[in-house]
Amino acid sequence: MVLPCTATKAEILAWQPDGIMLSNGPGDPRSLDDEVQTIRDLAQEKPDLPMFGICLGHQLMGRALGGETYKLKFGHRGANHPVKDLTTGKVHITTQNHGYAIERDSLPADVEVTHLNLNDNTVEGLRHRDRPLFCVQYHPEASPGPKDNAYLFDRFAEMVKGGRK
């Protein structure tokens, strides 16, 4: 089910989702307070509901978890951006198209940085330490590697399967 970004917590939960994908999209994450509040409300009401955010979804999840965003001096555009997965040590080639980033020092202790951009050390991925919430700044669906980042979708699918009762 695809819902608009304006969907409320009640509208989303009415579908009884097994997981939520926060998709990419245009916009300044600092101006999307209603969407951030919806994500925060979902994470608090259903702390076991898996969520995976991509690009703008990453920025909104980062804000919902207590982080702040800032505008990059130079946006990340195009393919061939090296990103290190800090959980595995592997470097993946990514496609990016964004002008904002998460401020690393603004993140609370229960949020872990999982990916870093090797060109400028900006945050490229997060996960909540106790809940099934994670996100990446880049576009794993763009297959730049060509399949370097497919493991993220597998991870989300496993979280969804594990959360079903």
CA–CA distance, 67 with 77 (Å, rounded to integer):
23
**Active site annotation includes 98:** no
For residue 4, cis peptide bond before it (omega within 30 degrees of 0): no
Residues 6+ apart with CB under 8 A from 105: none
Of the residues 76, 128, 141, 158, only one is catalytic, namely 141
Whose tokens are 């700044």? That residue is 137
Of the residues 35, 55, 81, 115, only one is catalytic, namely 55
**Active site annotation includes 55:** yes
**Active site annotation includes 45:** no
SS3 state at 75: strand
Of the residues 58, 92, 98, 139, only one is catalytic, namely 139
Active site residues: 55, 139, 141
